[in-house]
Structure 1
Amino acid sequence: MELDRRLLLAHCAAHALSMAAGLLAVVPMALSGSAFKGRCALFSSGYWTTEDRGEVTGRQGDVSYLVVRQWGPPAACQLATFVGIFTVLYGAAQGWRSLFYLHGRHDDTLFSSFLTVLLSVCVLFLSGGASVILSLGLVSWCDTVTDHNRQPYSCAESQSVPLYLDVNTSSFYTELSVAQAALWAVTALWLAQSILAFLRLYHSHSQHLRRPCRPREKELLLEHSLSDAGSPTPPHPPATPTISA
């Protein structure tokens, strides 16, 4: 297929940006999983209680602390991590292919372009679902931490508040917020990649329709010329003798 350099360059840039956004989603999720000892904070449920924990805190008097009734499902965090990792790996592979096509001055076949569109649309819906899950899960965890806004601090400020859990909560909001923004950026880039893949498919389809016509016309003209050259010339009829009177 003939190469459309503008579409290919735009697609290559989208792959590079998606790799960066995917890394920004994977790294904070990995840090959050390490801080929470493999548990998922998204959609976790719990309640605040007050009791005398002087032997633990070293302070006299009643202390309010958070009790996690149930941690969130691991799949909620694993889905966001999977989308980020897949985006990084796919962006690296497709970016290399785009550079190879730019160097070789050709593009994907029609079937390969169709598969790229199909895969891009599927991952677009997957990343969109992961973004929604991450956003709703963070809201649910913030409601638990702030006791549905009954505590005198916000969710971001609760990072510096001791929750007296057996996990490290000193940067959970920063990590999950960065992962949330990066995952929505990944979704937007998958939308751009889907549009670019469709445009490349349309370009390949147009080239596929125009390309076979020219060789076929040349073949018909060649066959016609060969048939004219190879056909024997019909003999002229003998001249009728004339009888003079």
Structure 2
Amino acid sequence: MELDRRLLLSHCAVHFLSFAAGLLVVVPMALNGSALKGRCALFSTGYWRTEDQPELTEQPREFSHLVVQQWGPLAACQFVTFVGIFTVLYGAAQGWRCLFYLHGGHDDTLFSSFLTVLLSVCVLFLSGGASVILFLGFSTWCDTVTDSHRRPYSCAESQSVPVYLDVNTSSFYTEFSLAQVSLWCVTALWLAQSILAFLRLYHSHRRHLSGPWLHRDKEMLLGHSLTDSTSPLPSLPSSTPTLFV
């Protein structure tokens, strides 16, 4: 198997893995947004309040409920979701394109390879930033629901604790954890895509330099040199004086 075919096959596998990892980012984030009625839990702040709840048959008893002071910015959740959606669409399109190239036996042009490297590096930084945003925002929400870890349960257990909000928080930890792990995988896959795209660009550049046009130019130059070396020398004018009768 040639080097460019191995690179193309590896790049194709990474694209399909990116497609799967992107889906594991988009689906949990969409489910969480639906459960929270369009709100974003990332970077949300609040506190626990203890109140007396009167009942008809029993004495009033104390109960705690979560008070959300401010929900997180929607841009945080939308940015994370955008990176996942772009990864899904790009992975599907480029994966199909790689399969087409493998079947046809050809590769990208030099300019197209350069654009692929540039795009992969840009999205690598975007996905890395989205991963950091999701990590920090999720940590802030965990501090809120566990009262800065002063509650008698962990963040994973808090999704089964009633918080008495008008939204469903029964699976937020599972959704955010899955999206976070998947987004870090997406970032690693974009790094792999950047490296493979650079290797394909380098290989395409070498192939461009050693293409058939270079051999034709060499043959033309060699042929021109041989023609010059075998051409007869110009005759010099005779120095013998001419006798007139």
Please give the TM-score of this superposition, normalised by the length of structure 1. Answer: 0.88
Q: Distance in 1 between matches of 2:3 and 2:225?
A: 33
Alpha-carbon distance, 1:127 to partner = 0.1
CA displacement, residues 59-99 of structure 1 (integer Å, 9 cap, x when unaligned): 94111000000000001101110000000100111111111
Question: What aligned pairs does 1:22-61 form with structure 2 within 5 A after superposition?
Answer: 22-54=22-54, 60-61=60-61
Contact in 2 for aligned 1:24/1:178 (Cα 8 Å): yes
Give the alignment's Cα RMSD to 1 decimal.
2.2
Contact in 2 for aligned 1:3/1:105 (Cα 8 Å): no
Code of the residue aligned with 1:30 in structure 2: it is A
Q: Which residue of 1 aligns with 2:116?
A: 116
Q: Distance in 1 between matches of 2:209 and 2:96?
A: 28
Q: Which residue of 2 aligns with 1:152?
A: 152
- Larger mean CA deviation between 94-103 and 33-42 belongs to 94-103
Unaligned runs of 5+ in 1: 236-245
Q: Distance in 1 between matches of 2:93 and 2:117?
A: 16
Alpha-carbon distance, 1:232 to partner = 8.6
SS of match in other structure, 1:147? coil
Alpha-carbon distance, 1:101 to partner = 1.0
Q: Distance in 2 between matches of 1:104 and 1:3?
A: 16
Q: Which residue of 1 aligns with 2:214?
A: 213
The structure 1 segments of at least 4 consecutive aligned residues displaced by more than 3 Å after TM superposition are 221-229, 231-235
Please give the TM-score of this superposition, normalised by the length of structure 2. Answer: 0.88
Alpha-carbon distance, 1:27 to partner = 0.1
Unaligned runs of 5+ in 2: 236-245
Q: Distance in 2 between matches of 1:226 and 1:160?
A: 89
Alpha-carbon distance, 1:213 to partner = 2.0
Counting aligned pairs with the same residue, the percent is 74
Is residue 190 of structure 2 the alignment partner of residue 190 of structure 1? yes
Code of the residue aligned with 1:214 in structure 2: it is H
Q: Which residue of 2 aligns with 1:85?
A: 85
Aligned residue pair count? 231
Alpha-carbon distance, 1:215 to partner = 1.7
Code of the residue aligned with 1:105 in structure 2: it is G
Q: Which residue of 2 aligns with 1:239?
A: none
Q: Distance in 1 between matches of 2:215 and 2:59?
A: 88
Contact in 2 for aligned 1:53/1:63 (Cα 8 Å): yes
Alpha-carbon distance, 1:222 to partner = 4.7
